[in-house]
Amino acid sequence: MTVQATAATGGRPDWVRLMPGVFVLLWSTGFIGAKYGLPYAEPLTFLLVRLALVAAVLGVVALVTRAPWPKTWAEAGRIALAGLLVHGVYLSGVFCAIAKGMPAGVTSLIVGLQPLLTAALSGPLLGERVTARQWGGLLLGLAGVALVVSEKISFDSANLMGMGLAGAALLGITLGTLYQKRHGTAMDLRSGAAIQYAVTAAVLAVLAPMFETMQVQWTGEFVFALLWLSFVLSVGAIFLLFALIRRGAAARVASLFYLVPPVTAVIAWAMFDERLGALALVGMAMAVAGVAMVNRAR
């Protein structure tokens, strides 16, 4: 790239400008990868294999690179608890919801309301002020989700279970984020993530045999989904997220998550023929607009 071309892009090379878009695309494929691999393994079993693999790899990376580890058991416990909420409750909720038949696009939209729920809870839990505009965005986003869900979900027991699981996933990632923010645990990404994945895998190793057969069909599709979710999502997308933040893009990174539901819906339509009608598309636009209102009001 020439000096003139670099100057024309604000002093940043093209690959840096592409990083946000690549992150959104990778994060959106997490819901698709779950649906792609779940026909060959039950959700908790799938997650157990995935997280154990990632924990082992990151543990080796942390040791080889001499990453710092928590200095006290209390610090390690806080890291582990945040991991259980974010990885355990969130991922288990997403995987189980999709396994119950929830469309990947609808699941991503429900859990994509995490910034809205965080705004609602940050006042009572963190003492932060929530503005009138933020509350307006919260209500607009919830109305949008209601439109999407009303068109795609019938109120039988299976769909209600899927909605409940997606709601649990939303609650898990929200409380996990708030917990980590409140306690301000400055963990090293390599060692901290290894702890979080290992502890979550240990819990799943207890729960999976209680509720599932633990059978895995090691097909090419399952192996591809496993490797994609393990390394592209659990390692690649997370490291890309931190790279964006280190480059001073933290404010913009928050808004990137709001683009995940529509991108997931497009991919789900292309791969699985998941279709959203006019009412659902309007609802999705309302949800994205509502979250944007919350973000811009801060």
The string of pLDDT tens digits covering residues 3-50 is 444 444 455 555 666 777 788 788 888 888 888 899 999 999 999 999
Q: Residue 215 has what pLDDT?
A: 94
- Residue 76's H or E segment, with its range, is helix 73-83
Are the C-beta atoms of 172 and 88 separated by less than 8 Å? yes
- Whole-prediction pTM: 0.78
pLDDT, tens digit, for every residue of 74-124?
A: 888 988 998 899 889 999 999 999 888 887 777 877 887 776 777 677 666
Separation in Å, CA 278 to CA 90, 148, 203, 275: 29, 9, 42, 10
Q: What's the half-sphere exposure (Cβ side, CA atoms, 13 Å) at 221?
A: 12
Query: Among 190, 169, 171, 192, which Cα is nearest to 83's?
Result: 192
Q: How far apart are CA 196 and CA 41, in angstroms?
A: 23
> Given this model, what pLDDT does residue 40 score?
95
Burial of 155 (0-12, 13-18, 19+ CB in 10 A): exposed
Residue 41 forms beta bridges with which residues? 216
> Minimum mean pLDDT among 100-114, 123-137, 225-239, 248-262: which range?
248-262
Helices 220-227, 43-64: crossing angle, 10 deg rounding: 50
The helix/strand count (H/E) of the chain reads as: 15, 0
| The pLDDT value given to residue 251 | 39
Long-range contacts for 183-190 (Cβ within 8 Å, ≥24 apart)? Answer: 183/78, 185/75, 185/78, 185/79, 185/82, 187/70, 187/79, 188/62, 188/67, 188/68, 188/69, 189/238, 189/239, 189/242, 190/58, 190/61, 190/62, 190/65, 190/67
Cα separation, 160 vs 152, in Å, equals 12
